[in-house]
Structure 1
Amino acid sequence: MTELNFKGKEFVYNHHLAVPFRPLVPHPKKGIGPVAFDSNLIVHGDNLYALKALLPMYAGKVDCVFIDPPYNTGNEGWAYNDNVNAPMIKEWLNANPIGIEDGLRHDKWCAMMWPRLRLLYEMLSDSGSFWITLDDNEVYRAKLMLDEIFGEENFITSLVWEKTTSARNDARFFSIDHDHILVYAKRIDQVMINRVVRTESSDSAYTNPDNDSRGPWREGDYKCAKSADERPNLFYPIKNPITGEEVLPRRERVWAYSKSENDRHVREDRLWWGKTGNYSFPKLKRFRSEAPADLVARTLLQAKEVGQTRTARTEILDIFTDQAFATPKPTKLLSRLLDLATDSSSLVLDSFAGSGTTAHAVLQLNKRDGGNRRFVLVEMEDYADKLTAERVRRVIKGYKFKGTQKTELLRENLNWRTLERSQDLVHRVQGIENLESADFDRITKQIKDGELIVTGEKAVTERAQGLGGEFTYCTLGDPVELDKVLSGESLPPYAAIGAALFHMATNQALDPKAIRQKDFYLGETAGQHVWLIYKPDLDWLKTPNAALTLTRAKAFAEAKPGKRHLVFAPARFVSQKMLTEQNIPVEFVPLPFALYRIERS
């Protein structure tokens, strides 16, 4: 496999292991609902440290990772600030921010992304998928890095997002209208990628002009691209039951169905000749109830379907009125990707959260189908609270809005086929108007770029309705450093240090709901139970109460029989030999040594 070499790779190759663990510090007043680390999260802090802090709880549990990192255009002003202990890296820190004139900006971007990608890989479940948006500046280097980290065999595809429909006439060679979205699986044989969920606009193609008891249907062509010379058995007359006329197909384009199939269609009332029998040729009724539930996803994401950069900026201005964001992604785009990558209970992680579009899309999807998807966002910039989290607050609760909210009700390509059945198209539009008019102030119809677009418009003068939901807002605490813990300068909360120790011992994420702090119990794996004798109180840690004793070892083993027991504690008053002799399946791990392993990992 071809590997990507960049300056500094040898220094950052395993840097994610040396990143110190920093506990999550909740800020209840900045979130909505009770503090819950296993629910929706927004973390303000450097995403490298944040990912390391999240790893003990979420390793192997994330169903979808979506990130929108700096594209490294040379105009973004991002800074390399990872604390890598190498002279060359330290020299880079003096050259921040990275600009277009920086001859090593591509190397620095790779050095920045590498440890983050390594941690994101560990976060994914075996059925999880990874999605990253980039442009031509770094997409090819990213592809090689991801091939190395994920494995070339786990590459799924590269999507093309049409980010603008307006040509830039000042472009030197080409007007760049698209971005790339690289898609990888954690394990290609287990990945969950849905087919495209059928959209409202595709459902609107189904109507029921004759009140058929089988429900809504759409017209299907009854002819095929074969001639009478090629398929003489498909050249036969069909009687129009309304006019009584017998109709033959054209010799160059005969019926698509045999005479026996046609007879069945007639018996089952599946032929449609128009309301007055005015069609020259019959159409086949294709019922919505018999159609596939979904459609195959395509790699081209058109702006008209998923939005573009301009519409994403409008979304931000609708929510804030006075705040802009340079490079937002449209909510429709994220909704489409999450339709592909998640189910109703999936966990979604975005460690370059920006304006918070990912959380917005998750909440929208939950509102749409009653799902319980969760999001974890990480944003390091100062706007994490005032923009990222504030957008989520407003979307959950509703927000002041004055203007016109628009909902697309129908989008139909205009071609010769639609002109042939123009009366039915008019009937469909009229049906939409009758059905939807009560929910909108007006319904508009326009033809644009060869499409008929029907839109419901509603004037809003007070508030946009909230989507509901909760989230916990966190920052990052001080690093768990051995010297400071032993001296009492820094004593992490029980759950924070417990999550780190559990992950270190088991290589699995800790379930916060399993923790019973008063019993010193952390959780279990398939083969063992894990305990932590600890309180964030230096005086208590110096007492015999903080030690593993024979009595306590027996109690642990009796409380959870059938497995081995791993006990973290500052001290012990019973030897491992005695525990073995008395057949007590308990193994002691000294807490200072365990913390040292975390610090040096």
Structure 2
Amino acid sequence: MAGAKQLLELTWFNKDKALIPSEEGRYAYEWVDPKDPRYCETRALVVDEVVTSEQSPKDEDTQYSERADLDPTEDNLLILGESGDVLEALTRVPELREKYLGKVKCIYIDPPFNTAQTFANYEDNLEHSVWLTMMRDRLVHLRKLLSDDGSIWVHLDDVESHRMRLLMDEVFGSGNYVTEVKWEKAYAASNNASGIPMVTDTVLVYRKTTAFQRNKVARSSAMNARYTNPDRADKGPWKPSDKSARHNLGRRQHPGVYGIQHPVTGEMMYPSSSSNWRFEQPEMLRIMREWGRYELGESTDEELARRKSVEGPNVELRPEIRPIVIPHWNQEDASRALGRYAEGNWPVYYPGEGGLGAFQRKIYLSELDGAVPKNLWPHSDVGHSDSAKKEIQALFPGQLPFATPKPERLLERILHIATNPGDVVLDVFAGSGTTAAVAQKMGRRWVTCELVEDTFNRFTCPRLEKVVNNEDQGGISIQKQERVDATEEGLPDGLSPDDAQKFNSALNKVLAANPELKTEAVVKALKTATKTKNQKGVVNWRGGGSFTVAHLAPQCFDYVSELNLVTLTESATGATLVNSVAANLNFSLTPESRHFDGKRGSMFLKVVEGRLDKDKAEELLAHLNEGEGVTLAATELEPGIRQFARTTDKPCQIVHIPNDIFTYSATQEGK
């Protein structure tokens, strides 16, 4: 949990209970006590194969983006298993915990739990409780995996989003709420829909701590079209922006509040109310000297009174901060400033309205590193559900196994905002594997898991194989074709290539109805001034990298309620038992050791399947060096072996499997 006590808490039936799958490979669960070994057993991973491929070389005739030059990531993990058990492994198995605990930069989950479908057989009050308990348990683990500067993105429809918001407040802390993204998943509502059709999904975004920093997104051509170059500036297109910046009112005047004399009218100009000039005074003075012979003036009573109107009546003024003025301003100064205006390439602060208006500030397009992301994502920017279905159909022709797949561009936007190349991305509801596919194409490391074995074998794993083998040219692998300027002089200021193409399309329709106009000089000039062309798609992905395919080891511990007894399963034998005991006792495996199965600090582990007697214990103790100890875990103990362990000259702990690993009893529940 987030630690800080919440003012508002969501309660539900059996909130103090845990849930375990009641059927293998299905979303069906039963309530148990959180101490029940069927819930809290840590299961190790079993590696099945490593899928690897080389990055394809470049072609001379193809244009590539910078992303296509990233080294493909190799340290990735695809797991077959239930998300709760996978998260238990990632947070508790020593080898996995070392790699992922507190090191995941971004978590995206699209939980496949819809109360109207998955829990149709539950009563209404229970179905929401099941969903909330499952999500609570997973969110607690997910928070542990997040890095301090990480974020989690939870994709929902309108069924549970309001409850999830309260649940995430409880787990992550309400102060770590970032935003609620609205994704336009459909570009048109069905005419057959009843009520008010839902065309958006919600993505709730929370951070781990205030260390989270979001990246800016790429600018669109429409955004860039707002920038023009009326003064022929050397730095290229720009747009006017606020001359001043707002500040919090304090007891003393802000140092950026003072007058600046207008170079043409001679009038004293001031920042807006409760605002200040955007640059420190030495820089402002340097800028203004491009317009005339500016100096620091005197803080007159009139000038201080104007500052008071900016700052408010209860603020202490600072006479030592002096205005910027042209001493003995006259018409010669005005003429000089107007001449400078006519030259063009104005300074970053300039007088508007032909040189006679208020000061304005220039923002150059060339100095922008992107756009601040907003929480409304139209389908034109990130795709929609239909485009996502087409991506799946292109990969798996003739099949459409997922009702609500997500387009790669949607995940691209999320991972771009939340991560950088090399960061770790986690998705524990893989489905078709979109998150992992996009992460691989963007040079991020990833971990993902899928519960349903048929989905895993037919779609998730094959899709990711196609990605690393460079057999997936859909989604974000290639940027879509776009309109670009094809004129010799450049498109008119403020006109984007898309707008120019629309204008030409409309003009052609007019000419089709009035063919006699085609020879008119003005028509030819208009078509020449708005000429555009399609630019071939730029390649973002050339394949390569690798991922490990693994599955959860079978359960080794069970609880028989009729006997009120923790027992071993049929799978609890050989390497499966060794790995399970090591994971649950927090030992890292030592396959290189001839005598021991695991190690934790100076303590070794040996798992004995069968009877542990004094002779076996002495033999193992003989392999220890000075300062080392051993934990001996066995399924059967010789009488008196614990007393013998207390007499040894080296630390020796005796553990019975399963009684000393899980001491749970239903009769203790609630005590």
The reply on whether 1:363 has 2:403 as its aligned counterpart is no
Which residue in 1 is equivalent to 2:107?
A: 65
Identity of aligned residues (%): 25
Is residue 397–residue 467 contact of structure 1 (8 Å, CA) maintained in 2?
A: yes
Which one-letter code corresponds to 2:662 in the other structure?
R
Q: 1:21 aligns with which of 28, 32, 42?
A: 42
- Relative to structure 1, the CA distance from residue 307 to residue 597 in structure 2 (aligned partners, 3 Å threshold; closer, same or farther) is same
Give the SS at the match of 1:554: coil
Does 2:412 match 1:326? no
- Match for residue 596 of structure 1? 661
Q: Deviations over 1:342-369 (max 9, x none)?
A: 2333222211111111101101211xxx
One-letter amino acid of the counterpart of residue 606, structure 2: I
Task: Report the CA distance shift for 1:479/1:2 in structure 2 as closer, same or farther (over 3 A).
Answer: same
Give the structure 2 partner of residue 78 of structure 1. 118
Within a 5 Å distance, the mapping from 1:269-308 to structure 2 comes to: 271-272=344-345, 290-291=367-368, 293=369, 295-308=371-384
Aligned to 1:261: 287
Q: In structure 2, do the counterparts of structure 1 residues 218 and 141 end up closer, same or farther at CA, with 3 Å as the change threshold? A: same
Matched, 1:552 2:623: yes
CA separation of 1:515/1:129 partners in 2, compared to 1, >3 Å: closer, same or farther? farther
**2:214 is the counterpart of 1:194:** yes
8 Å CA contact 2:35, 2:664 repeated in 1: no
Residues 285, 3 of structure 1: CA spacing in aligned structure 2 closer, same or farther, 3 A cutoff? Answer: closer
- Residues 217, 285 of structure 1: 8 Å contact kept: no
TM-superposed CA distance for 1:42, in Å, is 1.7
Counterpart selection for 1:388 from 450, 460, 474: 460
What does residue range 130-529 of structure 1 map to in structure 2 within 5 Å? Answer: 130-186=152-208, 188-189=209-210, 191-198=211-218, 217-221=236-240, 233-234=261-262, 236=264, 261=287, 264=290, 271-272=344-345, 290-291=367-368, 293=369, 295-324=371-400, 325-366=402-443, 372-380=444-452, 382-399=454-471, 407=480, 409=482, 422-424=491-493, 445-446=501-502, 456-457=535-536, 466-481=542-557, 490-493=573-576, 496-497=579-580, 500-501=583-584, 503=586, 516-518=592-594, 520=596, 522=598, 528-529=601-602
Q: 1:222 to 1:341 in 2, by over 3 A?
A: closer
Q: Which amino acid aligns with 2:75?
A: S
Could you tell me the TM-score, scaled by structure 1's length? 0.65
Q: Secondary structure at the match of 1:345?
A: coil
Per-residue deviation, 1:590 = 2.3
Gaps of 5+ in 1: 80-96, 226-230, 238-255, 274-278, 367-371, 413-420, 431-443, 558-564
Distance 1:343 1:588 in 2: 46
Contact 1:201 1:411 in 2 (8 A): no
Shift of 1:479: 0.4
How many residues align? The count is 491
SS for the counterpart of 1:590 is strand
> Could you report, residue by residue, the CA deviation over 1:471-509 in whole angstroms, capped at 9, with x for unpaired residues?
122233320228876998523348833651354x7xxxx
Q: Distance in 2 between matches of 1:382 and 1:540?
A: 41
Deviations 1:500-543 (A, max 9, x none): 1354x7xxxx6x8x87444747566xxx44532248xx479889
Q: Deviations over 1:303-349 (max 9, x none)?
A: 22222222222221222232222111121221222223223332222
Matched, 1:3 2:9: yes
CA distance in 2, matches of 1:402, 1:302: 20
Does 2:604 align with 1:531?
yes
Question: What CA distance in whole angstroms lies between the structure 2 residues aligned with 1:139 and 1:544?
Answer: 61
Superposed displacement of residue 392, structure 1:
1.0
Alpha-carbon displacement from aligned partner over 1:188-226 (angstroms, at most 9, x marks no partner): 24x43323254586997799999x998x7432338979x
Give SS of 1:597's match: coil
- For residues 406 and 345 of structure 1, do their structure 2 counterparts lie closer, same or farther at Cα, with a shift above 3 Å needed? closer
Greater gyration radius: 2
**What is the Cα-based RMSD across aligned positions, in Å?**
5.2
User: Cα 1:147–1:221, aligned 2, differ >3 Å: closer, same or farther?
Assistant: closer
| Aligned partner of residue 552 in structure 1, secondary structure | coil
CA shift at 1:384, angstroms?
Answer: 1.3
SS at 2:118 equivalent: coil
Q: 1:392 to 1:493 in 2, by over 3 A?
A: same
Q: TM-score, structure 2 length as denominator? A: 0.59
Distance 1:232 1:341, change over 3 A: closer
Alignment-derived partner of residue 311 in structure 2: none
CA gap of 1:154–1:546, structure 2 versus 1, over 3 A, is farther
More helix per residue:
1
Shift of 1:397: 1.0
The verdict on how the C-alpha distance between 1:195 and 1:589 changes in structure 2, with shifts beyond 3 A counting, is farther
Distance 2:196 2:613 in 1: 70
Residues 157 and 523 (structure 1), Cα distance of their counterparts in 2 relative to 1, 3 Å cut: farther
Whole-Å separation in 2 of the counterparts to 1:541 and 1:576: 11
Q: Using a 3 Å threshold, how does the CA distance of structure 1 residues 222 and 329 change in structure 2: closer, same or farther?
A: closer
